[in-house]
């Protein structure tokens, strides 16, 4: 059993921010503080926190930045959600390792707030590149040039790769989210159920009619409620359509939309009017916690539909189920993991609307049916969502950060690098006895940054390359790991490197160039530098076109952005002997993404055609397709 750390720094909004994550963490704080000193960092403009114990230190972001040296060895926890209230923490999260609590798997809007929402289209393009490699870059370019942004793009492109990569350890609330993150290559993901709110125990289901009287709700007909922000993805229109049909059948009810409207996103009042349910629907607006719980217990059933899902787990749903209420959900994502006897789960298919209408009718008419679901849900939540257990899991994960020997971040490294001066390189060249027959262009062009923690050297002539790396660029023997180009696909190295220096021939990659560059992606750290020098031999044979432009394209398709290209012969011969001179190409690149385009295409400048990277044994056989 891991001991709790003596101190933690937590980046999270706090009440009175109207934010579910703020309420969630505020409920955990008393359990944290039993064993651990808690420092909470909030944004500079955050309102004065309320309901927080005096022994909890609250710092504004600016205060934290002034004092960050004091917390250098303290584990950090970041609560990230797809909303503006967690934007402030991103610069620290991307540079300081810690435990990242991913409340929403889809973080597109959060990233959008840092660039596109501010008019920074280039920044948005870079974010897309970091998350989706070359394909993301193309999408960003299309937006930048033509304003193309699909209606479902924010739902389909979750934009979470950079934040996930930056995390040392990740906490999620569902297997759905854990599997999605593990698929991105992160192997430190733990599922911690969304805890049941202790505050809910102050409210009694037996006082349902009393609460209805306080809230002005009718006591003589069923009350159906949807809780939380009134957003389009909550499928409120589907509920209104189903209820309108049931009203036509003679059923009477009240439908409460207990939450804040988002008129810029969804005009719910228009849909209410169009459905003919103006007399049946109540829109409350934002609710404080007391009214929130009373509206919940005043209800007969809760409709919590979400499609599409952003991988979020609903705190509202956990509270409702824990209080013994029957809930209706879409059988997708985290909601699909609910036990079948604990909620009414509707498949999202062509029969969704009919099934929703039929289930609502049965739930309105059959009290025993809905009570059974509610009781099962309450028992399940009590058994699996205990706040003392979930809080302990948080502290255990934080303690793992303290115990880690490698206290470094895997975040995208955009910091400036140090290089030698050109004169230093020239002086070393004049004083060294490097063979003119070796590839020296990569170091003569001064492409290698100094003071990286480690370097992977890939070369047929390991002695030559390591000599240069140590003698010229100052890398110690213990910092250099060696591979040969032919062993790149078979290596057993599990680490990634901030610097990869590769000296190879086009013949090394000729058989499977896409796979070869994909293997370079595996060994390069996110934001790391790749220096790759390729000899273009006279006897090259490949099924693939491997000219300089195509190689550049392949490197970009493998998740890198090209920073610089140097090309030329190794040395100029003054003998005028017409001996063919080997040409070398040096590509300096930065790893931007884990995403690899396994079917790269070459776009011809000024042409409407696409040229595929393929060459038959009989010669060039370029397949062309029209660019619609």
Fold that domain 7-107+160-195+389-403 belongs to in CATH: Rossmann fold (3.40.50)
Query: Is there a contact between 465 and 501 (Cβ–Cβ < 8 Å)?
Result: yes
Q: What is the dihedral of CA 174, 178, 181, 182, to 10 degrees?
A: -170
3-class secondary structure, 363:
helix
Rounded-to-integer distance, Cα 155 and Cα 174, Å:
18
> Rounded to 5 degrees, what angle do the CA atoms 615, 616, 621 make?
65
Q: Where are the chain's structural domains?
A: 7-107+160-195+389-403, 204-383, 422-626
3-class secondary structure, 306:
coil
* pTM of the full structure: 0.78
Q: Which pLDDT tens digit goes with each residue over 299-330?
A: 999 999 998 887 788 888 999 999 999 999 99
- pLDDT value, residue 317: 93
User: Would you list the DSSP string of 523-558?
Assistant: HEEEEEEEEEEEEE-TT---SS--SHHHHHHHHHHT
Query: Is there a contact between 356 and 238 (Cβ–Cβ < 8 Å)?
Result: yes
CATH class assigned to 422-626: alpha beta
Q: Which of 239, 248, 225 is nearest to 346 (CA)?
A: 239
Q: Which of 193, 133, 123, 189 is nearest to 161 (CA)?
A: 133
Paired strand residues for 79: 101
Query: Is there a contact between 14 and 42 (Cβ–Cβ < 8 Å)?
Result: yes
Q: Which pLDDT tens digit goes with each residue over 179-189?
A: 999 887 788 99
Q: Do domains 204-383 and 422-626 have the same CATH topology?
A: yes
Rounded-to-integer distance, Cα 255 and Cα 271, Å:
13
User: Would you list the DSSP string of 308-341?
Assistant: S--S---HHHHHHHHTT-EEEEESSGGGGGS-TT
Residues of the chain below pLDDT 70 = 1-2, 150-152, 402-415, 435-438, 491-493, 569-582, 601-628
Q: Which of 295, 614, 152, 33 is nearest to 623 (CA)?
A: 614
Rounded-to-integer distance, Cα 375 and Cα 369, Å:
10
Structure tokens at 258: 């207990």
- pLDDT value, residue 403: 54
Query: Is there a contact between 100 and 109 (Cβ–Cβ < 8 Å)?
Result: no
- pLDDT value, residue 580: 44
- pLDDT value, residue 625: 33
Rounded-to-integer distance, Cα 399 and Cα 194, Å:
20
Structure tokens at 511: 């058989």
- pLDDT value, residue 434: 73
Q: State the alpha helices, DSSP H only, in 188-232.
A: 208-215
Rounded-to-integer distance, Cα 503 and Cα 66, Å:
44
- pLDDT value, residue 241: 96
Fold that domain 204-383 belongs to in CATH: Rossmann fold (3.40.50)
Longest dimension (CA), the chain: 104
User: Would you list the DSSP string of 474-522?
Assistant: ---GGGEEEE-GGGGGG------EEEEEEEEEHHHHSS-HHHHHHHHHH
């Amino acid at each position: 059993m891991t001991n709790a750390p003596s101190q933690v720094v937590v980046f999270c909004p706090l009440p009175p921010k109207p934010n579910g994550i703020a309420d969630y963490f505020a409920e955990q704080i008393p359990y944290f503080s039993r064993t651990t000193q808690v420092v909470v960092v909030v944004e500079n403009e955050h309102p004065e926190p309320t309901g927080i114990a005096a022994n909890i230190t609250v710092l504004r972001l600016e205060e934290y930045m002034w004092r960050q040296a004091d917390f250098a060895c303290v584990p950090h926890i970041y609560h990230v959600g797809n909303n503006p209230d967690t934007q402030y923490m991103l610069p620290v999260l991307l540079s300081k390792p810690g435990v990242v609590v991913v409340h929403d798997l889809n973080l597109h809007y959060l990233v959008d707030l840092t660039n596109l929402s501010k008019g920074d289209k280039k920044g948005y393009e870079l974010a897309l590149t970091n998350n989706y490699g070359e394909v993301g870059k193309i999408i960003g370019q299309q937006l930048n040039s033509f304003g193309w942004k699909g209606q479902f793009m924010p739902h389909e492109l979750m934009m979470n790769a950079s934040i996930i990569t930056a995390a040392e350890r990740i906490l999620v609330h569902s297997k759905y989210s854990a599997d999605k993150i593990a698929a991105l290559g992160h192997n430190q993901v733990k599922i911690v159920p969304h805890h049941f709110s202790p505050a809910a125990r102050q409210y009694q289901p037996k006082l349902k009619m009393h609460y209805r009287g306080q809230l002005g709700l009718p006591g003589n007909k069923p009350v159906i409620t949807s809780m939380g922000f009134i957003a389009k993805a909550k499928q409120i229109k589907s509920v209104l359509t189903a209820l309108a049909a049931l009203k036509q059948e003679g059923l009477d009810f009240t439908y409460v939309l207990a939450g804040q409207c988002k008129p810029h996103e969804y005009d719910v009042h228009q849909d209410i009017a169009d459905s003919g349910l103006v007399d049946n629907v109540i829109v409350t607006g934002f609710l404080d916690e007391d009214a929130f719980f009373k509206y919940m217990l005043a209800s007969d059933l809760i409709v919590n539909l979400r499609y599409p899902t952003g991988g979020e787990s609903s705190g509202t749903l956990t509270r409702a189920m824990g209080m013994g209420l029957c809930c209706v959900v879409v059988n997708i994502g985290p909601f699909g993991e609910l036990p079948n006897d604990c909620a009414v789960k509707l498949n999202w298919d062509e029969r969704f609307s009919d099934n929703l209408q039929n289930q609502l009718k049965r739930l309105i008419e059959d009290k025993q049916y809905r009570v059974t679901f509610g009781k099962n849900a309450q028992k399940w939540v009590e058994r699996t969502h205990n706040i003392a257990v979930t809080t302990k899991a948080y502290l255990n994960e934080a303690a793992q950060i303290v115990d880690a020997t490698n206290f470094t971040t895997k975040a995208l490294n955009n910091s400036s690098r140090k290089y030698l001066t050109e004169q230093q390189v020239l002086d070393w060249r004049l004083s060294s006895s490097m063979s003119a027959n070796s590839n020296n262009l990569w170091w003569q062009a001064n492409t290698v940054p100094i003071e990286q923690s480690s370097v992977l050297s890939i070369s047929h002539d390991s002695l030559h390359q390591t000599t240069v790396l140590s003698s010229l660029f100052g890398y110690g023997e213990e910092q250099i790991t060696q591979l040969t180009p032919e062993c790149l696909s078979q290596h057993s190295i599990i680490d990634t490197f901030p610097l990869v220096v590769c000296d190879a021939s086009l013949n090394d990659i000729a058989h499977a160039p896409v796979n070869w560059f994909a293997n370079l992606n595996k060994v390069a750290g996110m934001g790391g530098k790749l220096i790759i020098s390729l000899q273009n031999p006279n006897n090259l044979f490949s099924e693939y076109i491997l000219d300089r432009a195509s190689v550049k394209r392949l490197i970009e398709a493998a998740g890198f952005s090209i920073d610089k290209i140097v090309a030329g012969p190794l040395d100029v011969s003054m003998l005028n002997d017409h001996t063919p001179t080997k040409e070398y190409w040096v590509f300096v690149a930065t790893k931007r993404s884990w995403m690899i385009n396994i079917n790269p295409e070459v776009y011809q400048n000024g042409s409407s055609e696409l040229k595929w990277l393929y060459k038959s044994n009989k010669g060039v056989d370029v397949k062309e397709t029209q660019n619609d």
